[in-house]
Structure 1
Amino acid sequence: MKTPRPSARLKPLTQLRNLKMARSAHAYVRGSTVQFYQWLHSQPGRRLPNGPAVWICGDCHAGNLGPTGDLKGRIDIHIRDLDQTVIGNPVHDLVRLALSLATAARGSDLPGVVTAKMLEEVMRGYQLAFTDASDEDPPRPAQVKAGMRSAVQRTWKHLAQERIEDARPTIPLGKHFWPLSRQERTALQNLCDSQEIHGLVTSLKGRSKNDRVELLDSAYWVKGCSSLGLSRYAALLGVGDDDDPDYCLIDIKQAVGAAAPRAARAHMPRDNGKRVVEGARHLSPGLGNRMISARMLDQGFFIRELLPQDMKLELDQLSQVEAMRAAAYLARVVGLAHARQMDKGTRAEWIKDLQLNRSRVLDAPSWLWSSVVQLVGNHEIGYLEHCRRYALDAQKD
């Protein structure tokens, strides 16, 4: 594949993002954060309950949850993508998750009644996170079990073969990695020579604070969907001595203003990189403690070392049983991220508010059902129009 010059990246990245979003309705939902928040600012979106102001993911679709490792090597399912994190209304995460699960169910050709039952399970799983009844925790769905097994077994070689196609200490240019400008290369060298990067890399279990850290290779990283078009870089580092080197892959991602609405009078870092790191440390401490922020090329970035255990959770071809299990389990993960930020009284009041507006037919609030129905309809229209505008043109080419 011919890689574009650094000055000519924007057009192919925009085309790639549009094609990724055209792959399925579920992919479109994952990549259309701005459209979701446009709906939130509409009259129907304003009728949602006002929860306590806590750090929220801001883009809480199912693909942004998955296995992550912490500094001590422990692995669990957490929120793993926090570009949009703000101090805001936790109900926004709940509705965004429910929307993505509903579109995943539609992609699996499940009947509409399953969506209704999934929303009941979303509420059940979320509320369980606010209780101490661990014996009632929802079981892990098959996709989560499979993801956890893979995460536990993965090594640096798996990560290297997946991300950079080889375990050798180079980053091959091609589909996923593009060349850097001279200015970018110099900036990345200076960043990786910093004490902040040295401290980040050597804080991982099994490494020494005295280990030497050296930049081996770097490239522009073509990764993600909604973030395509922002500055993102991969840096391959060598850690330790030359006789027995350890390698690590650093993800350096530009931080921009969040589309998610923040709570009134919320005090957050003004620097977007610092905001992302702070939100991560509240929502997913194991991940957040592996992140730092930095400024480079007059932009804010947040940075983390990618571990072999950091994986995206894929919910493909769900059965009815697995769909409901996934809804309860993932909602509990989100609930735990919210609950750890609330005191006992705030938790009780928030759960009490969530119990309101339930009908005899559906054991979920009416606002959740009506929100998901409206959003599924809006996104279905948006998805079809998106395909007409971009996928048809790509086929003609």
Structure 2
Amino acid sequence: MNIPVPDARQPLLTARRNQKMARSPHAYVRGNTAQYYEWLHSLRGHNLPHGPAIWICGDCHLGNLGPLAAADGRVEVQIRDFDQTIIGNPAHDLVRLGLSLAAVARGSRLPGAITAGMLEHLVAGYEQALEAGHDGQSRVRMQKPEVVKVVLRSAVKRSWKELARERIVDTRPNIPLGKNFWPLSKAEKKSIATMFESKEVISLITRLKSRDEDAKIEVADAAYWVKGCSSLGRLRYAVLVNVGDDDYCLIDIKEATIAAAPRYAHVSMPRDNARRVVEGARHMSPALGERMAAQRFLAHGVFIRELLPQDLKLEIEELGVEQATHMARYLGHAVGCAHARQMDDPSRKSWLRELKLNRPKTLATPAWLWNSVVQLIASHEGGYLEHCRKYALSGDNT
């Protein structure tokens, strides 16, 4: 394939993003965070409850949850993407996850009654986490869906060589250029080299795996990383780092931009977008936040993290009837734990009471959540078909 020079990246990235979003309604939902909030606030009769002012994911769809490894080796299913994190309304995370689950259910050709059951179980799992009132240790009592067990078993067993083969094709100390990795400009190479000489970045790398604090850190190779969907087009780099004599690690550098998710007024957050992302991650998913750092790169704010073999997505494009409601309850509980750990007892109890208000006698799901998801599914169906029409007419689907 022809590998583009740095100045020619953007049109190809836009075409690839369009291609990914046209694959399925669920892929379209995943790639449309900004439009999601525009649609949500334009819905007739839109009236979400105002939850406590806490850090939320802001883009809480199914693909942004999965196994994460903490610095001490523990592996848990947590939120794993914080590009959109802000201090805002926790109801937004529930609606976003509900929409994502409903889109997967429709793509799996499940009956509408199953979708209704998924939303009921989503709320039930979320409320269970709030009722527990601590940092999520109660999750051990939440039975894991079989698909989650499989992913967790795979995550725990994964080695550096498996991560290298999956992410960079080879285990040799270089990143082969091709479909997913493109060459850097001279300015990018220089800025990456400078970044990995900073004390903060060296400390981030050496604190994991009990590495020697005095270990020599050297950039072995780096490339522009063509990765993601909604973030395609932003700065993204993979950096292979040699630590000491024979240890290697893979570092992900990602540009931070303004969040589309609406923040609460009169709350204090870092003005720098990269520091906002890191702060949100540390509050919601400590296993990830503790191995992230914010940096400046070519006048842009970026956040960096070391990728561990245990970091995996929950790649679920199709659900069966039996696992659908179980999965919804489990993921609702995971999000509830991320929210609950930030609330004191009065805030938790007040939010629980709010969630239980105004429920129809025939439906255990709050009316605001049900109505929002139903209307958003309709909006996204139309948006998806229109995207596919424009995409096909553009000729970019080759």
- Compute the TM-score of the two structures, normalised by the length of structure 2: 0.97
**Equivalent position of 2:61 in the other structure:** 61
Q: Output the amino acid matched with 2:378.
A: G
Q: 1:136 to 1:270 in 2, by over 3 A?
A: closer
SS at match of 2:78: strand
For the aligned residue pairs, the C-alpha RMSD in angstroms reads 1.4
Q: 1:89 to 1:325 in 2, by over 3 A?
A: same
**Equivalent position of 2:177 in the other structure:** 173
Decide whether the 8 Å contact of 1:221 with 1:232 is kept in 2: yes
Alpha-carbon distance in 2 for matches of 1:253, 1:132: 35
For residues 143-222 of structure 1, the aligned pairs below 5 Å read 143-222=147-226
**Equivalent position of 2:339 in the other structure:** 338
Decide whether the 8 Å contact of 2:70 with 2:287 is kept in 1: yes
SS at match of 2:370: helix
Question: What do residues 316-340 of structure 1 show as CA deviations (whole Å, max 9, x unaligned)?
Answer: 3211121101100001100000000
For residues 23-34 of structure 1, the aligned pairs below 5 Å read 23-34=23-34
**Equivalent position of 2:241 in the other structure:** 237
User: Which sections of structure 1, spanning at least 5 residues, go unmatched?
Assistant: none
SS at match of 1:124: helix
Q: 1:167 to 1:339 in 2, by over 3 A?
A: same
Alpha-carbon distance in 2 for matches of 1:37, 1:52: 19
Decide whether the 8 Å contact of 1:125 with 1:137 is kept in 2: no
C-alpha deviation, 1:143, in angstroms: 1.4
Alpha-carbon distance in 1 for matches of 2:47, 2:96: 15
SS at match of 2:310: coil
**Equivalent position of 1:130 in the other structure:** 130
C-alpha deviation, 1:396, in angstroms: 7.1
C-alpha deviation, 1:192, in angstroms: 1.2
Alpha-carbon distance in 2 for matches of 1:135, 1:291: 24
Alpha-carbon distance in 2 for matches of 1:307, 1:396: 33
**Equivalent position of 1:388 in the other structure:** 389
C-alpha deviation, 1:14, in angstroms: 0.3
C-alpha deviation, 1:395, in angstroms: 7.3
Q: 1:135 to 1:60 in 2, by over 3 A?
A: closer
C-alpha deviation, 1:223, in angstroms: 0.4
Decide whether the 8 Å contact of 1:143 with 1:314 is kept in 2: no
C-alpha deviation, 1:136, in angstroms: 9.6
Alpha-carbon distance in 1 for matches of 2:241, 2:159: 16
Q: 1:208 to 1:51 in 2, by over 3 A?
A: same
Decide whether the 8 Å contact of 1:128 with 1:136 is kept in 2: no
Decide whether the 8 Å contact of 2:139 with 2:333 is kept in 1: no
Alpha-carbon distance in 1 for matches of 2:61, 2:169: 28
Question: What do residues 150-176 of structure 1 show as CA deviations (whole Å, max 9, x unaligned)?
Answer: 100100000000000010010000000
Decide whether the 8 Å contact of 2:55 with 2:280 is kept in 1: yes
SS at match of 1:205: helix
For residues 1-397 of structure 1, the aligned pairs below 5 Å read 1-44=1-44, 46-132=46-132, 134=138, 137-241=141-245, 245-394=246-395, 397=398
SS at match of 1:251: strand
Alpha-carbon distance in 2 for matches of 1:149, 1:394: 42
SS at match of 2:387: helix
Count residues in correspondence.
394
Q: Does 139-148 or 6-15 show the bigger shift?
A: 139-148
The percent of aligned pairs where both chains have the same amino acid is: 58
C-alpha deviation, 1:205, in angstroms: 2.1
Alpha-carbon distance in 2 for matches of 1:136, 1:212: 39
SS at match of 2:219: strand
User: Which sections of structure 2, spanning at least 5 residues, go unmatched?
Assistant: none
Alpha-carbon distance in 2 for matches of 1:73, 1:331: 24
Q: 1:152 to 1:298 in 2, by over 3 A?
A: same
Q: Output the amino acid matched with 1:189.
A: A
Alpha-carbon distance in 2 for matches of 1:53, 1:332: 19
Alpha-carbon distance in 1 for matches of 2:329, 2:392: 34
C-alpha deviation, 1:135, in angstroms: 8.8
Decide whether the 8 Å contact of 1:55 with 1:279 is kept in 2: yes
